[in-house]
Structure 1
Amino acid sequence: MHIIKLNAIDSTNSYLKELSASGILHDYTVVMTREQTRGRGQMGTVWNSHPGKNLTFSVYKKISCIRKEEIFSLSMATSLAIVKALKKFNIPGLRIKWPNDILSANKKVCGVLIESIIKKGELDAAVIGMGLNVNQTDFGGLPHAGSLKQITGVTYNLDELMHAIVKELQDCENFLAERKLNELKLWYEKNLFRRDKPSTFADKDGGLFMGFIRGVSDAGKLILEQEDAVRREYDLKEVRLMY
Protein backbone atom coordinates (compact mmCIF):
# COMPACT_ATOMS: atom_id res chain seq x y z
CA MET A 1 0.00 0.00 0.00
CA HIS A 2 1.30 3.44 -0.98
CA ILE A 3 -0.34 6.31 0.94
CA ILE A 4 -0.49 9.94 -0.21
CA LYS A 5 -1.70 12.34 2.48
CA LEU A 6 -3.00 15.77 1.52
CA ASN A 7 -4.16 18.67 3.64
CA ALA A 8 -6.92 19.65 1.21
CA ILE A 9 -8.07 18.61 -2.26
CA ASP A 10 -11.21 19.06 -4.34
CA SER A 11 -11.81 15.31 -4.72
CA THR A 12 -9.59 12.35 -3.87
CA ASN A 13 -11.22 10.38 -6.69
CA SER A 14 -10.42 13.09 -9.24
CA TYR A 15 -6.85 13.37 -7.93
CA LEU A 16 -6.24 9.61 -8.28
CA LYS A 17 -7.79 9.50 -11.75
CA GLU A 18 -5.46 12.30 -12.87
CA LEU A 19 -2.48 10.44 -11.39
CA SER A 20 -3.46 7.25 -13.18
CA ALA A 21 -3.71 9.09 -16.49
CA SER A 22 -0.24 10.60 -16.11
CA GLY A 23 1.68 7.43 -15.27
CA ILE A 24 1.71 3.98 -13.70
CA LEU A 25 0.25 3.72 -10.21
CA HIS A 26 0.91 0.97 -7.71
CA ASP A 27 -2.03 -1.25 -6.81
CA TYR A 28 -3.71 -0.01 -3.62
CA THR A 29 -2.34 3.51 -3.89
CA VAL A 30 -4.36 5.49 -1.33
CA VAL A 31 -5.02 9.24 -1.39
CA MET A 32 -6.23 10.51 1.96
CA THR A 33 -7.12 14.13 2.75
CA ARG A 34 -7.95 16.15 5.82
CA GLU A 35 -10.39 18.29 3.83
CA GLN A 36 -12.23 17.47 0.62
CA THR A 37 -13.72 20.61 -0.89
CA ARG A 38 -15.76 19.06 -3.69
CA GLY A 39 -16.40 15.47 -2.62
CA ARG A 40 -18.71 13.63 -4.99
CA GLY A 41 -21.32 10.95 -4.37
CA GLN A 42 -23.64 8.84 -6.48
CA MET A 43 -25.43 10.60 -9.36
CA GLY A 44 -23.40 13.79 -8.94
CA THR A 45 -24.41 14.52 -5.36
CA VAL A 46 -22.01 16.56 -3.20
CA TRP A 47 -20.53 15.02 -0.07
CA ASN A 48 -19.69 17.59 2.61
CA SER A 49 -17.42 16.90 5.57
CA HIS A 50 -16.01 18.90 8.45
CA PRO A 51 -12.20 19.20 8.02
CA GLY A 52 -10.21 16.70 10.08
CA LYS A 53 -13.28 15.00 11.53
CA ASN A 54 -13.98 12.29 8.99
CA LEU A 55 -12.24 9.74 6.82
CA THR A 56 -12.11 10.83 3.19
CA PHE A 57 -9.93 8.72 0.94
CA SER A 58 -9.73 6.92 -2.40
CA VAL A 59 -8.04 3.69 -3.40
CA TYR A 60 -6.57 2.87 -6.81
CA LYS A 61 -7.27 -0.77 -7.59
CA LYS A 62 -6.00 -2.71 -10.61
CA ILE A 63 -8.94 -4.89 -11.60
CA SER A 64 -8.62 -6.97 -14.75
CA CYS A 65 -10.19 -10.15 -13.29
CA ILE A 66 -13.74 -8.94 -13.93
CA ARG A 67 -15.35 -7.47 -17.03
CA LYS A 68 -16.54 -3.87 -17.17
CA GLU A 69 -20.17 -5.03 -17.05
CA GLU A 70 -19.36 -6.80 -13.75
CA ILE A 71 -18.17 -3.65 -11.97
CA PHE A 72 -20.98 -3.95 -9.41
CA SER A 73 -19.07 -6.92 -8.00
CA LEU A 74 -16.37 -4.49 -6.91
CA SER A 75 -19.04 -2.29 -5.34
CA MET A 76 -20.33 -5.29 -3.37
CA ALA A 77 -16.81 -6.27 -2.27
CA THR A 78 -16.11 -2.70 -1.14
CA SER A 79 -19.35 -2.41 0.84
CA LEU A 80 -18.72 -5.73 2.57
CA ALA A 81 -15.11 -4.78 3.34
CA ILE A 82 -16.31 -1.61 5.09
CA VAL A 83 -18.88 -3.58 7.09
CA LYS A 84 -16.27 -6.17 8.10
CA ALA A 85 -13.81 -3.48 9.17
CA LEU A 86 -16.38 -1.51 11.19
CA LYS A 87 -17.53 -4.66 12.99
CA LYS A 88 -14.01 -4.95 14.39
CA PHE A 89 -14.54 -1.54 16.00
CA ASN A 90 -17.82 -2.77 17.52
CA ILE A 91 -20.00 -0.46 15.43
CA PRO A 92 -23.60 -1.66 15.93
CA GLY A 93 -26.41 -2.45 13.51
CA LEU A 94 -24.40 -2.39 10.29
CA ARG A 95 -26.31 -2.77 7.03
CA ILE A 96 -25.77 -1.94 3.34
CA LYS A 97 -28.37 0.36 1.81
CA TRP A 98 -28.43 -0.37 -1.91
CA PRO A 99 -26.28 0.21 -3.78
CA ASN A 100 -23.39 0.93 -1.40
CA ASP A 101 -24.30 3.25 1.47
CA ILE A 102 -23.26 1.89 4.86
CA LEU A 103 -25.74 2.34 7.71
CA SER A 104 -25.28 1.93 11.43
CA ALA A 105 -28.34 2.09 13.67
CA ASN A 106 -30.30 3.15 10.54
CA LYS A 107 -28.05 6.20 10.05
CA LYS A 108 -25.87 6.67 6.96
CA VAL A 109 -22.26 6.68 8.12
CA CYS A 110 -20.46 5.96 4.85
CA GLY A 111 -20.85 6.53 1.13
CA VAL A 112 -18.91 4.98 -1.73
CA LEU A 113 -18.21 6.19 -5.27
CA ILE A 114 -16.49 3.80 -7.68
CA GLU A 115 -15.23 5.04 -11.04
CA SER A 116 -13.96 2.65 -13.72
CA ILE A 117 -10.78 3.19 -15.73
CA ILE A 118 -11.21 1.64 -19.18
CA LYS A 119 -8.27 0.90 -21.48
CA LYS A 120 -8.66 -0.52 -24.98
CA GLY A 121 -12.32 -1.14 -24.28
CA GLU A 122 -11.69 -3.29 -21.22
CA LEU A 123 -11.77 -2.67 -17.47
CA ASP A 124 -8.21 -1.95 -16.36
CA ALA A 125 -8.60 -0.39 -12.92
CA ALA A 126 -10.99 1.45 -10.64
CA VAL A 127 -10.85 4.35 -8.24
CA ILE A 128 -12.79 3.59 -5.07
CA GLY A 129 -13.76 6.69 -3.11
CA MET A 130 -15.03 6.41 0.45
CA GLY A 131 -16.43 9.01 2.80
CA LEU A 132 -16.85 7.74 6.36
CA ASN A 133 -18.44 9.97 9.00
CA VAL A 134 -16.25 9.40 12.02
CA ASN A 135 -15.93 12.14 14.64
CA GLN A 136 -18.30 14.77 13.22
CA THR A 137 -21.46 15.14 15.31
CA ASP A 138 -23.39 17.96 13.57
CA PHE A 139 -24.95 17.23 10.18
CA GLY A 140 -26.95 20.40 9.68
CA GLY A 141 -30.38 18.88 10.08
CA LEU A 142 -29.83 15.89 7.77
CA PRO A 143 -32.07 13.34 9.51
CA HIS A 144 -30.53 10.19 8.06
CA ALA A 145 -26.85 11.12 8.51
CA GLY A 146 -24.82 9.88 11.45
CA SER A 147 -21.25 9.22 12.53
CA LEU A 148 -19.39 6.56 14.45
CA LYS A 149 -18.84 8.92 17.39
CA GLN A 150 -22.48 10.01 17.38
CA ILE A 151 -23.59 6.39 17.58
CA THR A 152 -21.02 4.99 20.05
CA GLY A 153 -19.68 8.03 21.91
CA VAL A 154 -16.12 7.00 21.03
CA THR A 155 -13.53 9.22 19.29
CA TYR A 156 -11.75 7.23 16.58
CA ASN A 157 -8.32 7.37 14.94
CA LEU A 158 -8.76 8.02 11.22
CA ASP A 159 -5.54 6.29 10.13
CA GLU A 160 -6.46 3.17 12.06
CA LEU A 161 -9.86 3.02 10.40
CA MET A 162 -8.41 3.55 6.93
CA HIS A 163 -5.86 0.74 7.34
CA ALA A 164 -8.57 -1.61 8.63
CA ILE A 165 -10.83 -0.91 5.66
CA VAL A 166 -8.07 -1.34 3.07
CA LYS A 167 -6.99 -4.62 4.69
CA GLU A 168 -10.53 -5.97 4.46
CA LEU A 169 -10.79 -4.72 0.87
CA GLN A 170 -7.69 -6.75 0.02
CA ASP A 171 -9.31 -9.82 1.58
CA CYS A 172 -12.65 -9.31 -0.17
CA GLU A 173 -10.84 -8.89 -3.48
CA ASN A 174 -10.20 -12.64 -3.41
CA PHE A 175 -13.87 -13.21 -4.31
CA LEU A 176 -13.24 -11.29 -7.53
CA ALA A 177 -9.86 -12.84 -8.32
CA GLU A 178 -11.28 -16.34 -7.80
CA ARG A 179 -14.47 -15.47 -9.74
CA LYS A 180 -16.69 -16.31 -6.76
CA LEU A 181 -19.15 -13.62 -7.83
CA ASN A 182 -22.30 -15.51 -6.90
CA GLU A 183 -21.00 -16.18 -3.37
CA LEU A 184 -20.15 -12.49 -3.09
CA LYS A 185 -23.67 -11.53 -4.20
CA LEU A 186 -25.32 -13.86 -1.67
CA TRP A 187 -23.17 -12.38 1.11
CA TYR A 188 -24.04 -8.86 -0.03
CA GLU A 189 -27.78 -9.62 -0.17
CA LYS A 190 -27.63 -11.06 3.35
CA ASN A 191 -26.46 -7.64 4.56
CA LEU A 192 -28.97 -5.54 2.60
CA PHE A 193 -30.92 -2.96 4.58
CA ARG A 194 -34.67 -3.78 4.75
CA ARG A 195 -34.37 -6.96 2.73
CA ASP A 196 -37.64 -8.94 2.81
CA LYS A 197 -39.37 -6.20 4.84
CA PRO A 198 -42.33 -4.17 3.55
CA SER A 199 -40.94 -0.80 2.46
CA THR A 200 -41.99 2.36 0.69
CA PHE A 201 -40.23 3.44 -2.50
CA ALA A 202 -40.37 6.50 -4.73
CA ASP A 203 -40.15 6.15 -8.50
CA LYS A 204 -38.35 8.61 -10.78
CA ASP A 205 -41.48 10.77 -11.00
CA GLY A 206 -41.91 10.92 -7.22
CA GLY A 207 -44.77 8.44 -7.06
CA LEU A 208 -44.83 6.19 -3.99
CA PHE A 209 -45.35 2.43 -3.97
CA MET A 210 -44.90 -0.49 -1.59
CA GLY A 211 -42.57 -3.40 -2.15
CA PHE A 212 -40.08 -5.89 -0.76
CA ILE A 213 -36.36 -5.89 -1.49
CA ARG A 214 -35.54 -9.43 -2.65
CA GLY A 215 -31.95 -8.96 -3.80
CA VAL A 216 -29.90 -7.56 -6.67
CA SER A 217 -29.30 -8.64 -10.25
CA ASP A 218 -25.83 -9.53 -11.55
CA ALA A 219 -25.68 -6.01 -13.01
CA GLY A 220 -26.47 -4.48 -9.63
CA LYS A 221 -30.09 -3.53 -10.22
CA LEU A 222 -32.40 -3.68 -7.21
CA ILE A 223 -34.92 -6.55 -7.37
CA LEU A 224 -38.26 -5.53 -5.86
CA GLU A 225 -41.35 -7.65 -5.38
CA GLN A 226 -44.42 -5.45 -5.51
CA GLU A 227 -48.02 -5.95 -4.44
CA ASP A 228 -48.88 -7.90 -7.58
CA ALA A 229 -46.22 -10.47 -6.56
CA VAL A 230 -44.23 -9.65 -9.71
CA ARG A 231 -40.50 -9.02 -9.35
CA ARG A 232 -39.04 -6.05 -11.20
CA GLU A 233 -35.51 -4.68 -11.53
CA TYR A 234 -34.64 -1.01 -11.00
CA ASP A 235 -31.44 0.93 -11.51
CA LEU A 236 -30.23 3.81 -9.37
CA LYS A 237 -32.07 6.50 -11.34
CA GLU A 238 -35.40 4.70 -11.26
CA VAL A 239 -36.16 4.10 -7.58
CA ARG A 240 -35.39 5.43 -4.11
CA LEU A 241 -35.99 3.73 -0.78
CA MET A 242 -37.94 5.97 1.60
CA TYR A 243 -37.01 5.44 5.25
Structure 2
Amino acid sequence: MPITDKQKKLLALLANGEFHSGEELAEALGLSRSAIWKQLNGLTELGLHYTGISGRGYRLDKRLELLDQAKITDGLDDNSRASILLLEVHDQLDSTNSYLSQKLHHGDASGIVCFAEHQTAGKGRRGRDWVSPFGSNIYLSILWRFPQSGLGEIAGLSLAIGVAVTRALTHLQIEGIELKWPNDLYSQGKKLGGILIEVSGEASGPCSAVIGLGLNVHLPATEAEKITQPWTDLGRILGSKKISRNTLAATLLNHLIPVIADFEKTGIAAYLDEWRAVDGLKGKPACLYIGNQTIEGTVQGIDDKGLLLMERADGTVQAYASGEVSFHNATS
Protein backbone atom coordinates (compact mmCIF):
# COMPACT_ATOMS: atom_id res chain seq x y z
CA MET A 1 0.00 0.00 0.00
CA PRO A 2 1.51 3.38 -0.99
CA ILE A 3 2.28 5.73 1.88
CA THR A 4 -0.19 8.63 1.89
CA ASP A 5 0.48 12.32 2.47
CA LYS A 6 -1.47 12.06 5.74
CA GLN A 7 0.75 9.22 6.91
CA LYS A 8 3.87 11.20 6.00
CA LYS A 9 2.65 14.16 8.08
CA LEU A 10 1.74 11.82 10.92
CA LEU A 11 5.19 10.22 10.86
CA ALA A 12 6.88 13.62 10.84
CA LEU A 13 5.01 14.44 14.07
CA LEU A 14 5.65 11.07 15.73
CA ALA A 15 9.28 10.66 14.61
CA ASN A 16 10.64 12.17 17.86
CA GLY A 17 9.36 9.20 19.85
CA GLU A 18 7.38 11.39 22.27
CA PHE A 19 3.70 11.10 23.17
CA HIS A 20 1.28 13.19 21.12
CA SER A 21 -2.38 13.48 22.04
CA GLY A 22 -5.07 12.39 19.63
CA GLU A 23 -6.42 15.93 19.71
CA GLU A 24 -3.03 17.39 18.77
CA LEU A 25 -2.58 14.94 15.89
CA ALA A 26 -6.14 15.46 14.65
CA GLU A 27 -5.72 19.23 14.62
CA ALA A 28 -2.34 19.07 12.85
CA LEU A 29 -3.64 16.77 10.12
CA GLY A 30 -7.13 18.25 9.82
CA LEU A 31 -8.78 14.91 10.64
CA SER A 32 -11.18 13.58 13.22
CA ARG A 33 -9.78 11.59 16.13
CA SER A 34 -11.34 8.41 14.76
CA ALA A 35 -9.60 9.07 11.43
CA ILE A 36 -6.29 9.51 13.26
CA TRP A 37 -6.77 6.08 14.82
CA LYS A 38 -7.22 4.58 11.35
CA GLN A 39 -4.08 6.35 10.12
CA LEU A 40 -2.12 4.98 13.06
CA ASN A 41 -3.27 1.45 12.37
CA GLY A 42 -2.13 1.89 8.78
CA LEU A 43 1.44 2.42 9.98
CA THR A 44 1.74 -1.24 10.95
CA GLU A 45 1.64 -2.10 7.25
CA LEU A 46 4.88 -0.13 6.92
CA GLY A 47 6.54 -2.17 9.67
CA LEU A 48 6.03 0.56 12.29
CA HIS A 49 4.38 0.01 15.65
CA TYR A 50 3.01 2.45 18.17
CA THR A 51 1.77 2.61 21.74
CA GLY A 52 -1.39 4.38 22.84
CA ILE A 53 -1.99 5.30 26.49
CA SER A 54 -5.16 6.93 27.71
CA GLY A 55 -4.49 10.48 28.89
CA ARG A 56 -1.07 10.62 27.22
CA GLY A 57 -1.71 9.92 23.56
CA TYR A 58 0.30 7.99 21.00
CA ARG A 59 3.96 7.46 20.29
CA LEU A 60 6.06 5.25 18.04
CA ASP A 61 7.71 2.31 19.78
CA LYS A 62 11.02 3.40 18.24
CA ARG A 63 12.13 6.93 17.49
CA LEU A 64 12.66 7.59 13.77
CA GLU A 65 15.35 9.62 12.07
CA LEU A 66 14.01 10.09 8.58
CA LEU A 67 16.49 10.40 5.73
CA ASP A 68 17.05 13.97 4.59
CA GLN A 69 18.56 14.72 1.19
CA ALA A 70 20.10 18.00 2.38
CA LYS A 71 21.69 16.40 5.45
CA ILE A 72 23.14 13.54 3.41
CA THR A 73 24.52 15.97 0.84
CA ASP A 74 26.06 18.12 3.59
CA GLY A 75 27.89 15.02 4.85
CA LEU A 76 29.51 14.24 1.50
CA ASP A 77 33.15 15.01 0.84
CA ASP A 78 34.11 17.05 -2.21
CA ASN A 79 35.01 14.06 -4.39
CA SER A 80 31.75 12.24 -3.70
CA ARG A 81 29.68 15.36 -4.20
CA ALA A 82 31.36 15.98 -7.57
CA SER A 83 30.84 12.38 -8.72
CA ILE A 84 27.16 12.11 -7.83
CA LEU A 85 24.96 13.37 -10.63
CA LEU A 86 21.70 13.11 -8.67
CA LEU A 87 20.81 12.04 -5.14
CA GLU A 88 17.20 11.05 -4.44
CA VAL A 89 15.41 10.07 -1.23
CA HIS A 90 12.06 8.34 -1.72
CA ASP A 91 9.40 7.56 0.85
CA GLN A 92 8.56 4.28 -0.85
CA LEU A 93 9.67 2.24 -3.86
CA ASP A 94 9.18 -1.34 -4.95
CA SER A 95 12.98 -1.60 -4.69
CA THR A 96 15.81 0.86 -5.17
CA ASN A 97 17.52 -1.52 -7.61
CA SER A 98 14.39 -1.89 -9.75
CA TYR A 99 13.92 1.88 -9.79
CA LEU A 100 17.44 2.56 -11.02
CA SER A 101 17.34 -0.37 -13.44
CA GLN A 102 14.45 1.41 -15.16
CA LYS A 103 16.49 4.61 -15.33
CA LEU A 104 19.43 2.65 -16.72
CA HIS A 105 17.33 1.18 -19.49
CA HIS A 106 15.93 4.62 -20.29
CA GLY A 107 19.47 5.87 -20.89
CA ASP A 108 20.00 7.93 -17.73
CA ALA A 109 23.58 8.96 -17.05
CA SER A 110 26.03 7.50 -14.56
CA GLY A 111 26.16 8.66 -10.95
CA ILE A 112 22.54 8.50 -9.77
CA VAL A 113 22.09 7.59 -6.10
CA CYS A 114 18.77 6.46 -4.69
CA PHE A 115 17.64 5.87 -1.10
CA ALA A 116 14.22 4.64 0.00
CA GLU A 117 12.63 4.72 3.43
CA HIS A 118 10.51 1.69 2.57
CA GLN A 119 10.59 -1.02 -0.08
CA THR A 120 7.50 -2.95 -1.00
CA ALA A 121 9.45 -5.55 -2.98
CA GLY A 122 13.04 -5.32 -1.79
CA LYS A 123 15.32 -7.78 -3.56
CA GLY A 124 17.99 -10.10 -2.25
CA ARG A 125 19.98 -12.69 -4.17
CA ARG A 126 18.16 -15.27 -6.29
CA GLY A 127 14.93 -13.27 -6.13
CA ARG A 128 14.52 -13.48 -2.35
CA ASP A 129 12.55 -10.76 -0.59
CA TRP A 130 14.52 -8.24 1.47
CA VAL A 131 12.63 -7.28 4.62
CA SER A 132 12.29 -3.49 4.44
CA PRO A 133 10.35 -1.77 7.26
CA PHE A 134 9.85 1.97 6.93
CA GLY A 135 12.54 4.34 8.19
CA SER A 136 14.50 1.61 9.94
CA ASN A 137 17.45 0.63 7.76
CA ILE A 138 19.49 1.68 4.74
CA TYR A 139 18.15 0.78 1.31
CA LEU A 140 20.54 2.27 -1.23
CA SER A 141 21.29 1.81 -4.93
CA ILE A 142 23.77 3.48 -7.27
CA LEU A 143 23.62 3.56 -11.07
CA TRP A 144 27.08 3.53 -12.65
CA ARG A 145 28.32 3.16 -16.20
CA PHE A 146 31.71 1.64 -17.07
CA PRO A 147 32.56 2.85 -20.60
CA GLN A 148 35.96 1.13 -20.72
CA SER A 149 35.07 -2.23 -19.15
CA GLY A 150 33.19 -5.34 -20.16
CA LEU A 151 31.14 -7.61 -17.94
CA GLY A 152 34.09 -9.87 -17.15
CA GLU A 153 36.26 -6.96 -16.06
CA ILE A 154 33.85 -5.84 -13.34
CA ALA A 155 33.14 -9.37 -12.08
CA GLY A 156 34.85 -8.68 -8.74
CA LEU A 157 32.95 -5.44 -8.06
CA SER A 158 30.78 -6.96 -5.31
CA LEU A 159 33.91 -7.81 -3.29
CA ALA A 160 35.22 -4.25 -3.67
CA ILE A 161 31.84 -2.89 -2.58
CA GLY A 162 32.03 -5.10 0.52
CA VAL A 163 35.42 -3.59 1.34
CA ALA A 164 34.02 -0.07 0.89
CA VAL A 165 31.18 -0.79 3.32
CA THR A 166 33.56 -2.19 5.95
CA ARG A 167 35.72 0.92 5.56
CA ALA A 168 32.68 3.13 6.12
CA LEU A 169 31.60 1.22 9.23
CA THR A 170 35.15 1.25 10.61
CA HIS A 171 35.24 5.02 10.05
CA LEU A 172 32.14 5.19 12.28
CA GLN A 173 33.93 3.03 14.92
CA ILE A 174 31.82 -0.04 14.18
CA GLU A 175 34.23 -2.93 14.45
CA GLY A 176 34.15 -6.67 13.91
CA ILE A 177 32.38 -6.67 10.53
CA GLU A 178 33.08 -9.72 8.38
CA LEU A 179 32.42 -10.41 4.71
CA LYS A 180 30.87 -13.62 3.41
CA TRP A 181 31.61 -14.44 -0.21
CA PRO A 182 30.47 -13.05 -2.48
CA ASN A 183 28.29 -10.23 -1.14
CA ASP A 184 27.08 -10.46 2.47
CA LEU A 185 28.05 -8.53 5.59
CA TYR A 186 28.12 -10.36 8.91
CA SER A 187 28.78 -9.66 12.58
CA GLN A 188 29.37 -12.48 15.04
CA GLY A 189 27.98 -15.04 12.63
CA LYS A 190 24.77 -13.09 11.95
CA LYS A 191 23.80 -11.31 8.77
CA LEU A 192 24.00 -7.52 8.91
CA GLY A 193 23.53 -6.62 5.27
CA GLY A 194 23.76 -7.65 1.67
CA ILE A 195 24.97 -6.38 -1.68
CA LEU A 196 23.11 -6.98 -4.93
CA ILE A 197 24.74 -5.91 -8.20
CA GLU A 198 22.81 -6.18 -11.44
CA VAL A 199 24.91 -5.71 -14.56
CA SER A 200 24.14 -5.25 -18.24
CA GLY A 201 26.19 -4.60 -21.34
CA GLU A 202 28.73 -6.30 -23.55
CA ALA A 203 31.42 -8.82 -22.70
CA SER A 204 34.07 -6.53 -24.19
CA GLY A 205 32.44 -3.28 -23.03
CA PRO A 206 30.88 -0.93 -22.33
CA CYS A 207 28.74 -2.11 -19.43
CA SER A 208 26.64 -0.71 -16.62
CA ALA A 209 25.71 -1.70 -13.09
CA VAL A 210 23.05 -1.00 -10.53
CA ILE A 211 24.75 -1.49 -7.18
CA GLY A 212 22.37 -2.16 -4.29
CA LEU A 213 23.07 -2.22 -0.57
CA GLY A 214 20.71 -3.23 2.20
CA LEU A 215 22.04 -2.60 5.71
CA ASN A 216 20.16 -3.34 8.94
CA VAL A 217 20.22 -0.32 11.25
CA HIS A 218 17.22 -1.07 13.45
CA LEU A 219 15.19 -4.14 12.50
CA PRO A 220 11.97 -4.44 14.52
CA ALA A 221 11.55 -7.93 15.99
CA THR A 222 8.09 -8.26 14.48
CA GLU A 223 9.48 -7.67 11.00
CA ALA A 224 12.49 -9.89 11.61
CA GLU A 225 10.21 -12.88 12.12
CA LYS A 226 10.09 -13.10 8.32
CA ILE A 227 13.87 -13.70 8.11
CA THR A 228 14.95 -17.33 7.86
CA GLN A 229 18.58 -16.96 9.01
CA PRO A 230 20.44 -15.49 12.01
CA TRP A 231 20.48 -11.70 11.72
CA THR A 232 21.66 -8.61 13.52
CA ASP A 233 21.56 -4.85 13.12
CA LEU A 234 23.72 -1.86 14.01
CA GLY A 235 21.55 -1.10 17.05
CA ARG A 236 22.34 -4.50 18.55
CA ILE A 237 26.03 -4.17 17.70
CA LEU A 238 26.37 -0.66 19.16
CA GLY A 239 24.19 -1.13 22.24
CA SER A 240 23.59 2.20 23.94
CA LYS A 241 25.65 4.11 21.38
CA LYS A 242 23.44 5.82 18.79
CA ILE A 243 24.12 6.33 15.12
CA SER A 244 22.53 8.86 12.79
CA ARG A 245 21.04 7.31 9.66
CA ASN A 246 21.87 10.46 7.69
CA THR A 247 25.49 10.39 8.86
CA LEU A 248 25.63 6.68 8.03
CA ALA A 249 24.18 7.31 4.56
CA ALA A 250 26.73 10.03 3.77
CA THR A 251 29.63 8.00 5.16
CA LEU A 252 28.67 4.99 3.05
CA LEU A 253 28.63 7.15 -0.08
CA ASN A 254 31.99 8.72 0.80
CA HIS A 255 33.53 5.25 0.74
CA LEU A 256 31.44 3.62 -1.99
CA ILE A 257 31.72 6.30 -4.66
CA PRO A 258 35.55 6.40 -4.94
CA VAL A 259 35.73 2.59 -5.04
CA ILE A 260 33.16 2.45 -7.84
CA ALA A 261 34.69 5.37 -9.74
CA ASP A 262 38.19 3.87 -9.61
CA PHE A 263 37.25 0.26 -10.30
CA GLU A 264 37.93 0.44 -14.03
CA LYS A 265 41.53 1.41 -13.22
CA THR A 266 42.20 -0.75 -10.18
CA GLY A 267 40.06 -3.84 -10.67
CA ILE A 268 39.71 -6.30 -7.81
CA ALA A 269 43.48 -6.43 -7.14
CA ALA A 270 43.41 -3.22 -5.09
CA TYR A 271 40.97 -4.74 -2.59
CA LEU A 272 42.10 -8.34 -2.20
CA ASP A 273 44.18 -7.85 0.94
CA GLU A 274 41.45 -5.90 2.74
CA TRP A 275 38.80 -8.42 1.74
CA ARG A 276 40.92 -11.34 2.93
CA ALA A 277 41.53 -9.59 6.26
CA VAL A 278 37.79 -9.66 7.04
CA ASP A 279 36.91 -12.95 5.33
CA GLY A 280 34.36 -14.56 7.61
CA LEU A 281 34.36 -17.94 5.85
CA LYS A 282 38.03 -18.93 5.54
CA GLY A 283 38.78 -22.19 7.30
CA LYS A 284 35.13 -23.06 7.86
CA PRO A 285 33.36 -26.17 6.58
CA ALA A 286 30.65 -25.15 4.16
CA CYS A 287 28.39 -26.22 1.33
CA LEU A 288 28.43 -24.46 -2.01
CA TYR A 289 25.22 -24.70 -4.03
CA ILE A 290 25.43 -24.21 -7.79
CA GLY A 291 22.07 -24.94 -9.36
CA ASN A 292 21.20 -28.49 -8.32
CA GLN A 293 24.81 -29.31 -7.45
CA THR A 294 26.05 -29.34 -3.84
CA ILE A 295 29.78 -29.11 -3.16
CA GLU A 296 30.98 -29.80 0.37
CA GLY A 297 34.37 -28.78 1.66
CA THR A 298 36.35 -26.21 3.61
CA VAL A 299 36.58 -22.63 2.43
CA GLN A 300 40.15 -21.57 1.74
CA GLY A 301 39.55 -17.91 0.97
CA ILE A 302 39.55 -16.31 -2.47
CA ASP A 303 42.03 -16.35 -5.34
CA ASP A 304 43.47 -13.28 -7.05
CA LYS A 305 40.41 -13.03 -9.30
CA GLY A 306 38.04 -13.03 -6.33
CA LEU A 307 36.86 -16.59 -6.94
CA LEU A 308 35.93 -18.78 -3.97
CA LEU A 309 38.46 -21.50 -3.10
CA MET A 310 36.98 -24.74 -1.75
CA GLU A 311 39.07 -27.63 -0.47
CA ARG A 312 37.39 -30.99 -0.97
CA ALA A 313 37.71 -34.03 1.29
CA ASP A 314 40.43 -35.46 -0.99
CA GLY A 315 42.59 -32.36 -0.49
CA THR A 316 42.01 -30.84 -3.92
CA VAL A 317 41.24 -27.11 -4.09
CA GLN A 318 39.01 -25.67 -6.78
CA ALA A 319 37.97 -22.11 -7.60
CA TYR A 320 34.32 -21.16 -8.15
CA ALA A 321 32.96 -18.02 -9.77
CA SER A 322 29.38 -18.26 -8.48
CA GLY A 323 27.14 -20.10 -6.08
CA GLU A 324 25.50 -19.86 -2.66
CA VAL A 325 27.52 -20.69 0.42
CA SER A 326 25.92 -22.18 3.53
CA PHE A 327 27.81 -22.62 6.79
CA HIS A 328 26.92 -23.49 10.39
CA ASN A 329 23.60 -24.83 9.11
CA ALA A 330 22.54 -21.27 8.23
CA THR A 331 20.47 -20.65 5.15
CA SER A 332 22.33 -18.31 2.82
Q: TM-score, normalised by structure 2?
A: 0.65
* Cα RMSD after superposing both structures: 2.4
**What are the within-5 Å matches in structure 2 for residues 63-74 of structure 1?**
63-74=146-157
Comparing both chains, which one has the higher relative contact order based on Cα–Cα distances under 8 Å and sequence gaps of 6 or more?
Answer: 1
More helix by share: 2
- Between the aligned partners of 2:327 and 2:131, the Cα distance in structure 1 is 22
Superposed displacement of residue 98, structure 1: 0.5
Partner of 1:230: 316
Q: Give the superposition deviation at 1:63.
A: 1.9
Does residue 191 in structure 1 map to residue 275 in structure 2?
Answer: no
Indicate how the Cα distance of structure 1 residues 7 and 84 shifts in structure 2: closer, same or farther if over 3 A, else same.
same
Higher CA-based Rg:
2
Tell me: CA distance 1:76–1:227, structure 2 relative to 1, closer, same or farther (3 Å). Answer: same
Task: Give yes or no for contact 2:297–2:310 (8 Å, CA) kept in 1.
Answer: no
Q: Take 1:143 and 1:41, find their aligned partners in 2: how far apart are those partners?
A: 13
Match of 1:15 in 2: 99
Structure 2 match to 1:135:
218
Question: Residue deviations 1:98-151, cap 9 Å, x none?
Answer: 001011222211111101131696243211011100022422164421100012
CA separation of 1:76/1:198 partners in 2, compared to 1, >3 Å: closer, same or farther? closer
Q: Secondary structure at the match of 1:61?
A: strand
Q: Distance in 2 between matches of 1:113 and 1:207?
A: 23
1:169 corresponds in structure 2 to 256
How far 1:180 moved relative to its partner? 4.8
My pick for the range that moved more, 104-113 or 220-229, is 220-229
Q: Determine the C-alpha separation between the residues in 2 that align with 1:72 and 1:188.
A: 15
Q: Describe the superposition over 1:139-168 as per-residue Cα deviations: whole angstroms up to 9, x where unpaired.
A: 216442110001212343222212111111
| Distance in 1 of aligned mates of 2:277 and 2:155 | 16
What is the count of residue pairs matched by the alignment?
239
Picking from 67, 77, 80, the partner of 2:163 is: 80
Structure ranking higher in strand proportion: 1
Alignment-derived partner of residue 149 in structure 1 = 235
Instruction: Tell me if the contact between 2:279 and 2:301 (Cα under 8 Å) persists in the aligned partners.
Output: no
One-letter amino acid of the counterpart of residue 152, structure 1: L
Tell me whether 1:52 sits opposite 2:135 in the alignment. yes
Q: 1:144 to 1:213 in 2, by over 3 A?
A: farther
* Letter matched to residue 221 of structure 1: L
Amino acid at match of 2:268: L
CA deviation digits over 1:4-29, x for unaligned, max 9?
Answer: 1111110111111111222432x321
The whole-number CA distance in structure 1 between the counterparts of 2:156 and 2:286 is: 26
CA deviation map 1:164-188 (0-9, x unaligned): 1111112323652433532323332
CA distance in 1, matches of 2:146, 2:218: 32
Deviation at 1:231, TM superposition (A): 0.6
Residues 1:221 and 2:304 are matched in the alignment? no
- Partners in 2 of 1:222 and 1:236 — Cα distance? 8
Which blocks of at least 5 consecutive residues in structure 1 are unaligned? none
The answer on whether the counterparts of 1:93 and 1:106 sit within 8 Å (CA) in structure 2 is: no
Give, as a single letter, the amino acid of the residue that structure 2 aligns with 1:39: G
User: For residues 188 and 174 of structure 1, do their structure 2 counterparts lie closer, same or farther at Cα, with a shift above 3 Å needed?
Assistant: farther
Change (3 A) 1:17 1:208: closer
Letter in 1 for 2:312: Q
Q: SS state of the match for residue 174, structure 2?
A: coil
Please report the TM-score for the alignment, with normalisation by the length of structure 1. 0.87
- CA drift of 1:190 comes to 2.8
Sequence identity percentage: 25
- Pick closer, same or farther for the CA change 1:211–1:182 going to 2, 3 Å: same
